[in-house]
Structure 1
Amino acid sequence: MSLITPTRISTPAPAAPAVARKARRGGVPYAFLAPALVLFVLFLAAPIGYAGYLSLRKVKVSGLGLGSKSRTEVWAGLSNYARSLSDPDFLPSVGRVAAYGVIVVPTMLGLALLFALLLDANRTRESVGKFSRVAIFLPYAVPAVVASLLWGFLYLPRVSPFADAFEAAGFAAPNILSSSGTLWAVANIAVWGGTGFNMIVIYTALRAVPTSLYESARIDGASELSIAWRIKIPIVMPSLVMTFVFSLIATLQVFAEPMTLKPLSNTISTTWTPLMKVYRDAFVRNDIYAAAATSVIIALATFILSFGFLKLVGRRAFNQED
């Protein structure tokens, strides 16, 4: 008679240490993101939320407005938005910004694309390319206020060296800061300062393209102009879309240039742009509620135009990256 000893099947113990290690690894990305998220909430999301809150409030004055409880903050609804939109200075400021954008954005991106193509056409001349890149990019490193002061000095006929050159040639020096030239004066500063940044973005995209693609086109008989039009520009189209969105956002938020030139000319009013109107309402008239409403309107317009443009051209511009 034989005894059969049943075999004991051992089940593996749960890998608790492995699970714990996996859980710890899963929290590492959030730990790296935490500082950026905290800064985003404190310095971007919270101010936007507070501006939206102020735009729905107003001050109610009781009696003669004297005493600690005579001025109370109450619910205003959409009255601040109606007041901002019906302000006679608002729509003209929007029109000036629209005209400013029509001048600045195509000119700046056109020059940036032209410089990037010219630099990419001379890849073998590395020393010339480095100097040219620095020379074109350098104006972007100058702060907007400093650039506006420099150009303001060049615009004033009494102190500008260009005025002396015009007089020496027998011509009258143009008054660039006149009512008809102010828009072009402000636009010139933006083009001068922003072309270099956009050029670097586009040129970086061109540098990522292998040179063998261009060599194949040259073997097939394509000229440099044909290569630029049929190969390079379609390849950098995503970069052009991105720089266009950045330029559009900067256009809607133009403030430093006209604000700096304002003391130099009486043709620039305190509401020359929507953001200047926000500054006037908040810090001159002490009406932070109307200023908050106008700020929210500008933010919504920026969001709608930017994402609307991306929705319109995003599929065609980025389909080659899918």
Structure 2
Amino acid sequence: MYVAPIVYAAVSSLFTVHRSGLGLTAPSKVFDPLGNYARALHDGAFTGALGRVALFGVVQVPLMLCLALALALLIDAKSARGKGFFRLAGFLPYAIPGVSAALVWSFMYSSQSSPINRLLAPLGVSVPFFDGHLVLWSVANIVTWSWVGYNMIIIYSALQAIPAEVLEAARMDGASALRVAWSIKVPAIRGALVLTAVFSIIGSAQLFNEPTVLRPVSGGAISSSFTPLMSAQSAVAAGNYPYAAAQSVVLAVLVGVVSFVFLKLTGRGGKA
């Protein structure tokens, strides 16, 4: 189930599609092991999509995990009230399908119907959500809104596993709630933080639903190759499956390398 599609994609990427000049005959596949990969690495749209997703991950992932950690610590606080309500409220955005969430946010971002800009209108402020320099962060806002609650639940579950006597001993020693959270709780849930970070890195590389849904209303700010997966999908739509496979393989290798390096660095930090 897992290996077969990967092997098929890797094998398909070793062929290039050749078409006749007039396009009157069926395209043929020619074995060219490096052809598609060379094209992908010299394709400005694809490399631009890789850079865009890398920037997205560098900014959005730490911000999202910090918010998830803060919410989990607040709900886990001894003095917190209504924990069940706030857990459910934080998790609800994740329960909404990504496409549906993007549709709702497209209405929030629309230049004609945006309630956000209507509220800001008396202040003389209008946010250009689909401006070329802002559109990536408009997408990041949707992803953050959708996934903070999911990561919060994972982190909160890890907090529940901390022995109560350890926390009580720290309080008896005079440690403040902030000190307990920073010096005891956060180090104790390091494994959960690493896990959510790896999941988020992989999720960033798979960015597709949100920009695809926003594309028709973005006024051209979101192109068909806005993300690597969108670029690969464009190649599929053009009937060039081997090139799409090569793009997918490049993305998979890069994500694997980044995840491996991240795990090595975090593992080394844990041993230290």
Name the SS for the 2:156 alignment partner.
helix
**How far has the Cα of 1:313 moved from its partner?**
1.4
Letter in 2 for 1:140: Y
- The residue that corresponds to 2:236 in the other structure is 282
**How far has the Cα of 1:83 moved from its partner?**
0.6
Determine if contact 2:68/2:148 at 8 Å carries over to the other structure.
yes
- Percent identity over the alignment is 45
2:97 corresponds to 1:143 = yes
**How far has the Cα of 1:275 moved from its partner?**
1.0
1:107 to 52, 55, 63: 63
Letter in 2 for 1:114: A
1:211-230 aligned within 5 A:
211-230=164-183
Name the SS for the 1:59 alignment partner.
strand
**How far has the Cα of 1:170 moved from its partner?**
3.8
Determine if contact 1:123/1:129 at 8 Å carries over to the other structure.
no
1:184 to 137, 147, 165: 137
* Residues 241-250 or 84-93, more deviating: 84-93
- The residue that corresponds to 2:51 in the other structure is 95
- The residue that corresponds to 1:210 in the other structure is 163
- The residue that corresponds to 1:75 in the other structure is 31
Q: Could you tell me how far apart the structure 1 residues matched to 2:116 and 2:27 are? A: 55
- The residue that corresponds to 1:307 in the other structure is 260
2:16 corresponds to 1:58 = yes
- The residue that corresponds to 1:294 in the other structure is 247
Determine if contact 1:217/1:227 at 8 Å carries over to the other structure.
yes
Letter in 2 for 1:146: S
Q: Which has the higher contact order (CA 8 A, sep 6+)?
A: 2
Structure 1 gaps, min length 5: 1-40
- The residue that corresponds to 1:261 in the other structure is 214
- The residue that corresponds to 1:241 in the other structure is 194
Q: Could you tell me how far apart the structure 1 residues matched to 2:256 and 2:62 are? A: 20
Larger Rg, first or second structure (1 or 2): 1
**How far has the Cα of 1:91 moved from its partner?**
1.9
Q: Could you tell me how far apart the structure 2 residues matched to 1:195 and 1:243 are? A: 10
**How far has the Cα of 1:72 moved from its partner?**
3.2
- The residue that corresponds to 1:21 in the other structure is none
Structure 2 gaps, min length 5: none
- The residue that corresponds to 1:34 in the other structure is none
Q: Could you tell me how far apart the structure 1 residues matched to 2:125 and 2:19 are? A: 56
Q: 1:60 to 1:164 in 2, by over 3 A?
A: closer
**How far has the Cα of 1:209 moved from its partner?**
1.1
Q: Could you tell me how far apart the structure 1 residues matched to 2:109 and 2:151 are? A: 25
Determine if contact 1:93/1:272 at 8 Å carries over to the other structure.
yes
* Residues 303-312 or 293-302, more deviating: 303-312
2:270 corresponds to 1:270 = no
- The residue that corresponds to 2:6 in the other structure is 48
- The residue that corresponds to 1:160 in the other structure is 114
Name the SS for the 1:268 alignment partner.
coil
1:116 to 72, 79, 87: 72
Which digits, 9 at most, give the CA deviation of each residue in 1:211-244, with x for residues without a partner?
Answer: 2211111111111111111100000001000000
**How far has the Cα of 1:166 moved from its partner?**
1.9
Determine if contact 2:40/2:47 at 8 Å carries over to the other structure.
no
**How far has the Cα of 1:204 moved from its partner?**
0.3
- The residue that corresponds to 1:8 in the other structure is none
Name the SS for the 1:73 alignment partner.
strand
Q: Could you tell me how far apart the structure 2 residues matched to 1:178 and 1:170 are? A: 20
- The residue that corresponds to 1:84 in the other structure is 40
**How far has the Cα of 1:299 moved from its partner?**
0.7
* TM-score, normalised with respect to structure 1: 0.80
Determine if contact 1:112/1:199 at 8 Å carries over to the other structure.
yes
Q: 1:273 to 1:211 in 2, by over 3 A?
A: same
**How far has the Cα of 1:315 moved from its partner?**
4.4
Matched residue pairs, number? 271
Q: Could you tell me how far apart the structure 2 residues matched to 1:117 and 1:249 are? A: 25
**How far has the Cα of 1:63 moved from its partner?**
8.3
Q: 1:218 to 1:96 in 2, by over 3 A?
A: same
Q: Could you tell me how far apart the structure 2 residues matched to 1:64 and 1:187 are? A: 43
* TM-score, normalised with respect to structure 2: 0.94
Q: Could you tell me how far apart the structure 2 residues matched to 1:276 and 1:124 are? A: 43
